[in-house]
A and B are shown apart, each in its own frame.
Chain A
Amino acid sequence: MKHTHNPFIRIWHFYIEGFRNMTWGRTLWIIILLKLFIMFAILRVFFFQPALAGKSEAEKQHTVATSLSGERVDKPAE
């Protein structure tokens, strides 16, 4: 490790050296990165759009209020 008093550079070197010296850990990092890519770049973007996304606050309130006061509101109790 290069000797320096700058704490940020020392932390940077600490991490870089740690990653360089990894043996079995590299496979795990590949798995982690692949997993995060699938989760955030594929699943989140193409399959998990929030159902209320794109609506204004008032529209969101209205959508949820409609579900909460749904079709059963006028049914009498048994």
Chain B
Amino acid sequence: MNEMIQETLVGWSRSQFALTACYHWLFVPLTLGLAVVMAVMESIYVKTQDEFWKKAAQFWQKIFGINFAIGVATGIILEFEFGTNWSNYSWFVGDIFGAPLAIEGILAFFMEATFIAVMFFGWNKVSQRFHLASTWLTGLGATISAWWILVANTWMQHPVGMAFNPDTVRNEMVDFWAVAFQPMAITKFFHTVSSGWMTGAVFVVGVSCWYLLRGRNKRFALASIRVASVVGLVGILTVMFTGDRAGIQIAQNQPMKLAAAEGLEHGGAGAPFSIVPGIEVPKALSILATHDTEGVVPGIQDLLNGYTDNEGNVHLSADEKIRRGRQAVNAFAEYRKTVNKDSVTAIQARQTFEENQAYFGYGHIEKKEDLVPNITIVYWAFRIMIGFGCLLTLLLCLTLWFERRGTLAQKRWMQHWGVWSIPMVFLAGQAGWVVAEVGRQPWAIQDLMPVGVAVSGISASSVQVTFCLFLALFTILLIAEIRIMCKAIKNFRMED
């Protein structure tokens, strides 16, 4: 019964966090992408002094403003949830998680808030160059914000630069640079931000295609498509490059996530990549994960039962990790009990804890099968992300190609595709986060803390109530955003 209540609590707490994060991630990538598109357009205006580009930049700034206004502060709710639903986690991570979020709040948010005012209120009041700098700095502020959030997220996927203190029951930062600039964080930052550029670019292409279908604002639409396609292609190339880097890093640090994303039960050397069930590309997964056609990629069963990698390193079975984890948990409990009473026992317990600390989280795992994330969700989310990513790449290449040849305005099928690509790009982004977050289950912090331990000792019903409140609030906000945005798009007129 207790386990059922606990599972319900964890399930609802996770659902609430997922709901909040998914809504938040509808606004953020559009902010990041539109910021680049409008800044490029304003740069062209400052260079050419052509009023057309000023009006174009002002229109996309208006759309950016609507998105920013509706989306701003939706991420703060995630921080509420850390304190209320995930209090064990919040205490356990200590300042490591708090520091990047604090820097994000103070530095990046205020930078963004300052320059956004100059961008909106400063036309004809400040010099053209100062205004242009403010527009770029608005985007840079949003991007720096993303950096610190992604540093915090990466630390949960690959905790580094800290030491656990069993006296305070907190992790303490011992190397800020290792936390802030670990390779996984850098890869994640560029992968995520460039996917935002792609989102903004595809959105601009989609809206512009709608104008072409309606036979309105033709010059504006074609010029917007030209700029957005280039921004989007730069974004997608960066997404591809960093995605390749991420594949190797995940194979090294979160091999279960990779195995689940591939539905790979039994791995080995020369592992194939599954396009869809039943269709495989030989050796492609080994290339993605190791850059070697014969690289060893462990499958789910290999990870559960133990395996030997390319370099001959033996990786422990899940049962052995659980055994060592329970030793660590027992030693931790013993240390806490004896630290003020019996120094000899406490020293021994601490030594045993430190010897097995790397497997601490495994001590809370009931059975080894609990270490496998939901394969169906992760497998298909991965394919949605890559599949839609490929379709969007093709779209951006074709729109740029036809626009340069002067035939895009006649290709209505292309324009329809452009409009429908808007939901596609948002789905691709959401799917990417599903792979990242569902794929790392059951861990709140990889190998150190499973979600069942991270959750607060509160009632599941209180989480259910706030889940419903958020669902209502965010849905209203989303409807408001779509309505205001559609009105702004419909009312916009620009003579050709």
Contacts and interface: CB of A to CB of B under 8 A. Distances in A.
B62 to A, nearest CB: 7
A69 B323 CA distance: 14
Interface in A12-68: 14-15, 17-19, 21, 24-25, 27-29, 31-32, 35-36, 38-39, 43-44, 47-53, 60-61, 63-65, 67-68
B458 interface: yes
Contacts of B81: 48
A28 B332 contact: no
B336 interface: yes
B421 to A, nearest CB: 26
A72 B326 contact: yes
Contacts of B465: 47
B451 to A, nearest CB: 12
A68 B368 CA distance: 19
Given A32-B72, A35-B477, A43-B466, A72 B84 contact: no
A74 B337 CA distance: 14
A68 B332 contact: yes
Contact of B364 (A18, A24, A36, A72): A72
A: contact size bracket: 35 or more
A7 interface: no
Given A24-B62, A68-B92, A51 B333 contact: no
Contacts of B121: 14-15, 17-19, 21
A29 B167 CA distance: 47
A32 B69 CA distance: 6
A1 B122 CA distance: 13
A66 to B, nearest CB: 9
Contact of A73 (B80, B88, B329, B458): B329
Contacts of B117: 14-15, 18
B466 A77 contact: no
B457 A67 contact: yes
B326 A35 contact: no
Contact of A28 (B66, B73, B168, B368): B66
Interface string B68-98: 0110110011001101110110111000000
Contacts of A65: 169, 332-333, 336
Interface string B312-329: 000000011011001001
Contacts of A25: 65, 120
Contact of B83 (A1, A36, A51, A72): A51
Interface in B166-184: 167-169
Contacts, number: 131
A38 B480 CA distance: 16
B367 interface: yes
A75 interface: yes
B496 interface: no
Interface in B424-473: 453, 456-458, 462, 465-466, 469, 473
B269 interface: no
Interface residues of B, number: 55
B125 interface: yes
Nearest to A42: B469
B330 A39 contact: no
Nearest to B82: A50
B102 to A, nearest CB: 16
Given A15-B121, A28-B66, A51-B84, A75 B72 contact: no
B154 to A, nearest CB: 23
B323 A47 contact: no
Contact of B84 (A15, A18, A28, A49): A49
A70 B326 contact: no
Given A25-B120, A72-B364, A60 B84 contact: no
A46 B357 CA distance: 38
Contact of A47 (B69, B326, B333, B469): B469
Contacts of A50: 83-84, 87, 90
B60 to A, nearest CB: 14
B5 interface: no
Nearest to A1: B125
A27 B367 contact: no
A43 B469 contact: yes
B379 to A, nearest CB: 28
B91 A64 contact: yes
B50 interface: no
Interface of A: 1, 14-15, 17-19, 21, 24-25, 27-29, 31-32, 35-36, 38-39, 43-44, 47-53, 60-61, 63-65, 67-70, 72-78
9 contacts: A28-B484, A29-B69, A35-B73, A36-B73, A43-B469, A44-B80, A49-B84, A51-B83, A61-B169
Top 5 nearest A-B pairs (CB, nearest first) are: A18-B121, A77-B323, A69-B333, A50-B83, A51-B87
Given A39-B76, A73-B330, 8 more contacts: A31-B480, A39-B73, A53-B83, A60-B91, A63-B91, A70-B364, A77-B323, A78-B367
